[in-house]
Structure 1
Amino acid sequence: MTNAISTTFSLNEPIVGETLALVLNRVLDEHEALEGVPAYLFDIVFHDGTRVGQIDLRLSDAEPLVLYGGQVGYGIDKAYRGHSYAVEACRLLKTVALANHYHQLWITCNPDNHASIRTCEKLGAVYVERLAVPRGSELWRRGDREKLRYLWLLD
């Protein structure tokens, strides 16, 4: 997989779902993104424009990313948690992943992040393993010590 950005979907139009939409916030270059790979960063919004969180798609198959960082990152603002908005946002992000020729994505989370674990389960992502985060890595410096890995098949 290359790190090239695809524009086969419209960057100017929201990706609209039943309850939420994804609105492109910006394209992160390799100097801004986790593990130095380009990524799409979307705001997760209600149809009225109220922001409830963010989600990003990291465009690489680099080993540190698929093992520890994950190709998908999401966060729901505290006031909006508990409604499966991350699940809907991931399903909307699938359009972007497929446009970039991804047919599977790795999602990682900390072992104590029960909401993220539940998101992976609701997506049908398969638990693969628990790994120690390498000392000195970007995630280690952030305080992460272990990651759970899930494989999400998009087809």
Structure 2
Amino acid sequence: MADTLHHLTKVLETVAGVEEAEAFFSTVGSNVGHIIYDEYASQLEKECSNGEILPKVLIELENRAGGDFRLIEMDENRIVLENTTCPFGAKVNGTRSACMVTSNIVGHLASNCKGYAKVILEKTIARGDGMCRVSVSFNDDITPGLEYFADD
């Protein structure tokens, strides 16, 4: 699966460009986010208000996919996760558009839990940073990032 994703990402980035590949993977990630949210909906809807369940669900989800995510920081306004193993495998390096899947899944789950979320990919393995650092903010209107809003 990782090899397939790697080749698909490289082809899309080469043929269509990085921005178009990111748009494509954002759509894929959004669709997957809807499916995953439905899987976790009953648990999230009951426990989102206490703030403890969301990071646990995000970490479980990413780690089930093959990542090595852990919680670095959390308060009522922000969650910060770090990861040393990409869920998409070692070949992800150099294919930054694949990170849009992670961003959209995290953003979709977080925004449906909190109403709004901004995902900032501070570091990514795909960009050659050697690790991922994903910040999820619930009220940041200054820092550049990808904004997500709860489904109606």
Q: TM-score, normalised by structure 2?
A: 0.34
Question: Comparing both structures, which one devotes a greater share of its residues to helix?
Answer: 2
Q: Which has the higher contact order (CA 8 A, sep 6+)?
A: 2
